[in-house]
């Protein structure tokens, strides 16, 4: 799999930097990063028995990534679930469809209030994709 992420503290927030070889992998990296914030190592070695469909549209790729991760956060909080994987069915610059997979949890280690548009950015690079998001904790 060709993606990575880095979490950096950011004045009462956490900045997520994502890198991926492909656009779909960028969304998988975002799911993995959010899961690691909510419950570090919570996805490790677990059978992902919970599945939720996601379909979104947005004005551009940056808004799509923010809206997508906001949906993942909402689903996590409402369903008391940790989503570990995103299987893409279709993805374009401003639309996506796919399935989140995860597990039920008792609670989260970190309280995440929101995925913000503040300094959010998605860039296509010669070697893949890069994105930066700020998470309000």
Share of the chain above pLDDT 70, in %: 97
pLDDT tens-digit map of 56-86: 999 999 999 999 999 999 999 999 999 999 9
Q: How far apart are CA 106 and CA 6, in angstroms?
A: 26
pLDDT tens-digit map of 38-58: 999 999 988 999 999 999 999
pTM of the model: 0.90
Q: According to the model, what pLDDT value does residue 2 have?
A: 84
Q: According to the model, what pLDDT value does residue 62 have?
A: 97
Q: According to the model, what pLDDT value does residue 3 have?
A: 86
In the structure encoding, which two tokens stand for residue 11, read together?
Answer: 């004045």
The domain spans of the chain are 3-136
Q: How far apart are CA 114 and CA 135, in angstroms?
A: 6
Pick the CATH number of 3-136 from 3.60.21.10, 3.40.120.10, 3.55.10.10, 3.40.50.2300: 3.55.10.10
Burial label, 4 (beta-carbon count in 10 A; 0-12, 13-18, 19+) = middle
């Amino acid at each position: 799999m060709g993606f990575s992420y880095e979490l950096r503290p950011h004045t009462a927030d956490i900045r997520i930097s994502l890198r991926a070889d492909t656009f779909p992998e960028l969304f998988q990296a975002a799911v993995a990063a959010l899961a690691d914030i909510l419950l570090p190592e919570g996805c490790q070695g677990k059978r992902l028995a919970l599945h939720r469909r996601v379909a979104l549209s947005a004005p551009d790729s940056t808004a799509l990534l923010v809206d997508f991760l906001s949906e993942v956060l909402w689903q996590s909080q409402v369903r008391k679930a940790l989503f570990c994987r995103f299987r893409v069915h279709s993805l374009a610059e401003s639309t996506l469809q796919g399935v989140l997979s995860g597990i039920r949890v008792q609670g989260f280690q970190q309280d995440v209030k929101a995925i913000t548009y503040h300094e959010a950015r998605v860039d296509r690079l010669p070697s893949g994709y890069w994105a930066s998001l700020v998470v309000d904790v």
